[in-house]
Amino acid sequence: MADMPQVNAEFGSSPVIEFPEGAAPQGLKVVELTEGDGPMVRKRDTVTVNYHGVVWGKNKPFDSSFDRHQPASFGIGVGQVIRGWDQSVPGHNVGSRLVVSIPPEYGYGSRGVPQAGIGGGDTLVFVIDIIATR
């Protein structure tokens, strides 16, 4: 996908994101950089992931479990996380690295999260390594 950021594909490596020229793509976009060979994530699973989140076009993450060296676990497809995650993570296998572009309507909407530096209307980009699912 030409309009998606370029990200190093190696599962487990600290994400490096390079943005293309121009605006963020419309809608929710998912690119599987590395396909894992573990079990497939299904809606209502509890997933364990490492993730790195940035606002489109910025380098500094607003949140990164890679930086904390502490993966996160949560229910997927059940409204515990933003819709962009609920709709993009299920269907991928453990061991996969995804890059996801999440428009505001699938993220934090017109309010954003000002304390995290996320403006209303910002498109978010996450690099997600799927570590486990149960």
| Residues 6 or more apart in contact with residue 23 via CB below 8 angstroms | none
Domains in the chain, number? 1
Residue 19 covered by a domain:
no
Residue 128 lies in a domain: yes
In CATH, what number is assigned to the domain containing residue 86?
A: 3.10.50.40
Does the pTM exceed 0.95?
yes
Q: What's the confidence (pLDDT) of residue 53?
A: 98
36 within 8 A of 130, measured Cβ to Cβ: yes
Instruction: Say if 89 falls within a structural domain.
Output: yes
Rounded to whole angstroms, the Cα distance separating 107 from 122 reads 9
Contacts of 78 (CB under 8 A, 6+ apart): 43, 44, 86
Least Cα distance to 31 among 17, 45, 44, 47 occurs for 17
pLDDT in tens, 35-89: 999 999 999 999 999 999 999 999 999 999 999 999 999 999 999 999 999 999 9
- Pair 60, 127: CB distance under 8 Å: no
Range of 82's domain?
A: 27-133
Give 84-127 pLDDT, tens digit per residue. 999 999 999 999 999 999 999 999 999 999 999 999 999 999 99
pLDDT for res 69? 96
